[in-house]
């Protein structure tokens, strides 16, 4: 549409508005986007295609002018984990000549995080058919959605790795996604060897993940060696490999190594993540170092790692259980009470692990 002429009579232009007059007013009204969130998608009882298309028909023309409106709608569906509905929205857009962009498909993938994995593969197929280029977020969302089928994760790794600019993201996300399947440590170590032999330079996240994998595989000494190599790599986020090492030492039950890593992070003023503190606490509890476990629980609160105070109550709860056990552990015990003490400590260990493992780290 050609811009309106400046000599058209009517109301003058607003400050910063190059086109005034009645023609300019009409043009602005034509381009005025609809109000966000008035499609009624969340109220649909059925996610069949015809129902979704009927709800979106009044706004499709506006989505052509302003794709951000479609982004807002798909973001809302992603926040509510409505994967099937988000998939149908993309289908309606495609069949009505409103081609979804990469951001639209990414939100659809995010909405499918609780749905069956074939739906995510269908979205990737639509992206390829529409010649929409995936980005690093596409790689992350797709692999996470398929993490329950580790072979699909490896398939996606091969698929994305061939695309320009996505090789590092493919390695990073496949190593991270496979952590959901600890028994696949051999595949993870093989991927790391393949990465080091290629021209891909691992970032801080990749270093942290391979350090974790060696802790899972039982070769925690290799985790410490890789931590030294990561320090020499001048990473942009040097705290990530250290937090990964805390995880590895926790899996290997090496509480002394965990304390050493924690001390080094403190001396270098590196940020200890919330899950890093949790790993230290669990490692100390496993090693019957109850006083240390209480100390790190208190330190978590002092470091303000609990802004919404959802973790503080858990800290106090665990501390109340650990304090009497820690006191009895320091006191001399009769020989015939050793069996009873060991059984009690094992019970407390199991309880601490259940409570900390059940807590979702944000």
Residue 5 belongs to a domain = no
- Residues 228, 352 within the same domain: yes
- Residues 121, 171 within the same domain: no
Residue 310 belongs to a domain = yes
- Residues 300, 193 within the same domain: no
- Residues 240, 159 within the same domain: no
CA distance 312 to 324: 19
Residue 29 belongs to a domain = no
pLDDT at position 150:
87
Q: What is the pLDDT of residues 151-165, one digit of tens each?
A: 999 999 999 999 999
Residue 346 belongs to a domain = yes
Residue 69 belongs to a domain = yes
- Residues 216, 319 within the same domain: yes
Residue 12 belongs to a domain = no
What one-character-per-residue DSSP string does 204-246 give? HHHHHHHHHHHHHHT-HHHHHHHHHHHHHT--S-THHHHHHHH
pLDDT at position 28:
43
Those residues whose C-beta lies under 8 Å from the C-beta of residue 344, and which sit 6 or more positions away, are: 325
pLDDT at position 34:
38
- Residues 305, 237 within the same domain: yes
pLDDT at position 195:
94
Instruction: Report, as ranges of residue numbers, the positions in the chain whose pLDDT lies below 50.
Output: 1-20, 24-37, 330, 360-362
- Residues 318, 222 within the same domain: yes
Q: For residue 230, which of 212, 213, 211, 249 has the smallest C-alpha distance?
A: 211
- Residues 209, 194 within the same domain: no
* pTM, 2 dp: 0.74
Residue 356 belongs to a domain with what CATH number? 1.25.40
**Final residue in a domain of this structure, among 106, 124, 146:** 146
- Residues 214, 349 within the same domain: yes
- Residues 228, 114 within the same domain: no
pLDDT at position 220:
94
CA distance 174 to 144: 9
Given a contact cutoff of 8 angstroms between Cβ atoms, the answer to whether 200 and 171 are in contact is: yes
pLDDT at position 354:
63
Q: What is the dihedral of CA 295, 215, 344, 338, to 10 degrees?
A: -100
Residue carrying structure tokens 């691992």: 202
- How many separate domains does the chain show? 3
Residue 18 belongs to a domain = no
- Residues 105, 219 within the same domain: no
- Residues 229, 261 within the same domain: yes
Residue 17 belongs to a domain = no
Domain residues for the domain of 106 are 44-146
End-to-end CA distance of the chain: 49
């Amino acid at each position: 549409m050609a811009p309106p002429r400046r000599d058209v009579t009517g109301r003058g232009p607003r400050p910063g508005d190059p086109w005034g007059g009645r023609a300019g007013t009409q043009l602005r009204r034509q381009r005025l986007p609809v109000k966000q969130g008035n499609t009624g998608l969340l109220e649909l009882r059925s996610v069949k295609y015809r129902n979704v298309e009927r709800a979106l028909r009044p706004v499709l023309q506006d989505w052509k002018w302003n794709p951000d409106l479609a982004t807002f709608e798909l973001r809302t569906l992603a926040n509510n984990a409505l994967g099937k509905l988000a998939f149908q929205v993309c289908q309606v857009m495609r069949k009505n000549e409103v081609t979804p962009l990469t951001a639209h498909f990414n939100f659809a993938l995010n909405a499918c995080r609780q749905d069956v994995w074939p739906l995510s593969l269908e979205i990737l197929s639509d992206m390829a058919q529409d010649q929409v280029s995936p980005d690093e977020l596409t790689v992350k969302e797709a692999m996470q959605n398929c993490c329950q089928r580790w072979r699909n994760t490896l398939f996606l790794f091969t698929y994305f790795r061939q695309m320009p600019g996505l090789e590092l993201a493919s390695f990073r996300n496949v190593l991270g996604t496979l952590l959901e399947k600890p028994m696949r440590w051999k595949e993870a170590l093989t991927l790391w060897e393949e990465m080091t032999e290629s021209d891909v330079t691992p970032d801080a996240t990749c270093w942290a993940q391979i350090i974790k994998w060696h802790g899972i595989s039982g070769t925690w000494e290799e985790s410490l060696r890789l931590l030294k190599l990561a320090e020499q790599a001048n990473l942009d986020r040097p705290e990530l490999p250290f937090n990964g090492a805390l995880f590895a030492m926790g899996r290997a039950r090496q509480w002394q190594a965990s304390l050493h890593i924690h001390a080094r992070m403190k001396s270098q003023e590196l940020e200890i993540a919330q899950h890093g503190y949790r790993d230290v606490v669990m490692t100390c509890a496993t090693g019957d170092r109850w006083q240390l476990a209480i100390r790190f629980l208190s330190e978590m609160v002092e470091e303000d790692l609990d802004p919404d105070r959802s973790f503080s109550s858990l800290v106090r709860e665990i501390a109340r259980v650990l304090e009497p056990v820690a006191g009895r552990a320091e006191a001399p015990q009769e020989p015939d009470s050793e069996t009873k003490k060991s059984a009690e400590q094992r019970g407390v260990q199991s309880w601490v692990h259940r409570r900390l493992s059940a807590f979702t780290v944000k």
